[in-house]
Amino acid sequence: MVMKKPVSKLLALGISMVLANSAFAKGDSKEPTLTDKELKDATQIYFDRCAGCHGMLRKGALGPSLEPKKTKAMGTAALEHLIFNGTPGGMPGWGKSGELTKEQTALMAKYIQMTPPPPPEKSMADMKKSWKVLVPVDKRPKKPEGGRNWKNYFGVILRDVGQIAIVDGDKKEIVSIVPSGFATHILRTSKSGRYMYVIGRDGKASMIDLWMKKPQNVAEIRPCNDARSIDTSKFKGYEDKLAVVGCYWPPSIVVLDGPTLEPLKIVSTASYTYDTGEFTREARVASIVASHHAPEWVINVKETGQVWLYNYEDVKNPTISMIDAERYLHDGGWDLSKRYFLVAANARNKVAVVDTVERKLAAMVETGANKPHPGRGVNIDHKKYGPIWGTGHIGANAIVFIGTDPKGHPENAWKIVKTTKLPGNGGGNLFIKSHPNSKYIFADRPVNPDRKLQTQIYVLDKDSLEVVKTLPMPKEFHGDFDIGGGKKVKLRGPVHFEFNADGSEVWTSVWGHKEVPSAILVYDSNTLKLKNVIKDDRLKTPTGKFNVTNTMDDIY
């Protein structure tokens, strides 16, 4: 079972190791039975921990299929082992990490051998029942309050406690803690930067007004039961007017009024796979970016392998251009010119390049490594190769750099110009990031099973594109932390990078357990000196961080 970006095959290596051990019984054709309470508990755990990668219907995507025919053949004991211990290619060990008990692990091993219950649908009427305007538009500030540099605020996801910390990037202090949905995935700003839009794994969307002295939610809605993506309208003339949510379940696109989050339009993404023409109900929206060249959103439909250019000029009657790409689409980002969008197709180890001006697929690049996972990726204007974009990988220790300038550097366009190996074995990289004002690129590795590799930051020189330094997690965050009841857990390690507004600092989170306060580490982005350790008892499971200026301007 997988939540945080695992490999796509139930990690064949891990499975073969388990099944080779004669201590594990083979499965049989009988379906396990659970009590009503066990079924309810297991359904919730599956949604929280597994559905993102294996799908609500368990047909697989980034993670493998968990349909009963397959899981029953493996048997309960083998499944328990995998769920508890994880696998070498990046699947977390839910038991080892303390996030699932042995009893819960056993429960889930039984549950995934059962026929999946039908997930709930959601109508416009259902959405409107959850819609709340908490602060009317005319009651909101007319100008920024509090005298702070709000354009250097960071929105920090406190993932497992369902909150967002708004942190003053100048003063290194928390301005406010704002409630959010379960396991918030990303934050995006409006074009002006004033509003920060939030989407949680439970499909709850909310918007935070950063002009308030103490920023808080001003509107919220739950347009999906499960979601990963949100963005706003950024094209000239549409600034701050609309927001869009991409749903995992029900698979759909929901357009919202920007200032109030009133739901305006639903479009289903259930469709046919681009290559085999097979209908898939679970065609989920993996990621969304706002075009800089047209009133459009670039929407990536995971299971069908299509990139949709969704024109929002006429909200009630949108036009959609469907571009065949590859499966399964995941995260991606703009090149330096912001003309080309590059998105990972995890299952095929490729990066699809979409030209948003010519409105077509520009290239398909094989990365040569297992499971590209760029986040937004990293952009560099390299002195030898010209503009390039880079991605890391979950299942391999490779950072791959691709040329992105077909006009100025045609010899490098849509080709791999450099593959850099991270130290040690295995993958585990989730995010890579840089800034025009830094000499370095920063990469994490929080899902590598090796404790040393998991707790280091990898620093690459922009000129050589090689790892020149590793920064260990400070000693105070190593060791076992008591969470009560005789249980102890370890903090996973640094995850996700974000720069401050001028690029002089890079921030990373110490990712841990929801019962253990951790911290944000602030490094000088050029000297690599640890400048600050932001601590607060409210900083529990900090993960993604989004600086207002960099998010407004798509700087990465």
Averaged pLDDT score across all residues of the chain: 91
Each residue of 25-58: pLDDT tens digit?
344 557 788 998 988 888 888 877 788 778 888 8
Residue 300 in contact with residue 285, Cβ under 8 Å? yes
- Residue 10: pLDDT band by 50, 70, 90 thresholds? very low
One DSSP character per residue, 336-380 reads TTSSEEEEEEGGGTEEEEEETTTTEEEEEEE-SSS-B--TT-EEE
The full set of domain ranges for the chain reads 12-111
Q: Does residue 141 carry a pLDDT above 50?
A: yes
Q: Does residue 472 carry a pLDDT above 90?
A: yes
pLDDT for res 33? 87
The residues annotated as belonging to the active site are 50, 53-54, 91, 330, 373
| pLDDT top residue among 403 and 116 | 403
- Residue 24: pLDDT band by 50, 70, 90 thresholds? very low
- Residue 158: pLDDT band by 50, 70, 90 thresholds? very high
> Which of 108-112, 121-125, 376-380, 539-543 shows the lowest mean pLDDT across its residues?
108-112
Measure the CA–CA gap between 505 and 169, rounded to whole angstroms: 9
Q: What letter would DSSP give residue 156? A: E
- Residue 85: pLDDT band by 50, 70, 90 thresholds? confident
| pLDDT top residue among 181 and 430 | 430
Each residue of 107-137: pLDDT tens digit?
989 989 998 888 889 999 999 999 999 999 9
Q: Does residue 7 carry a pLDDT above 70?
A: no
pLDDT for res 99? 77
Looking at the chain, the number of H-run helices and the number of E-run strands are 9, 37
**CA angle at 307 for the pair 416 and 402, rounded to the nearest 5°:** 10
pLDDT for res 232? 98
pLDDT for res 32? 86
pLDDT for res 15? 32
Q: Does residue 21 carry a pLDDT above 70?
A: no
Residue 344 in contact with residue 374, Cβ under 8 Å? yes
pLDDT for res 84? 87
The CATH fold assigned to 12-111 is Cytochrome Bc1 Complex; Chain D, domain 2 (1.10.760)
Q: Does residue 91 carry a pLDDT above 90?
A: no
| pLDDT top residue among 279 and 54 | 279
Whether the pTM exceeds 0.75: the reply is yes
Q: Does residue 342 carry a pLDDT above 90?
A: yes
Residue 140 in tokens: 């909101």
Each residue of 100-113: pLDDT tens digit?
899 999 998 998 99
pLDDT for res 60? 78
What are the residues whose beta carbons fall under 8 Å from the beta carbon of 123, sequence distance 6 or more?
Answer: none
CA 42 to chain centre: 24
Residue 422 in contact with residue 445, Cβ under 8 Å? yes
Each residue of 217-267: pLDDT tens digit?
999 999 999 999 999 999 999 999 999 999 999 999 999 999 999 999 999
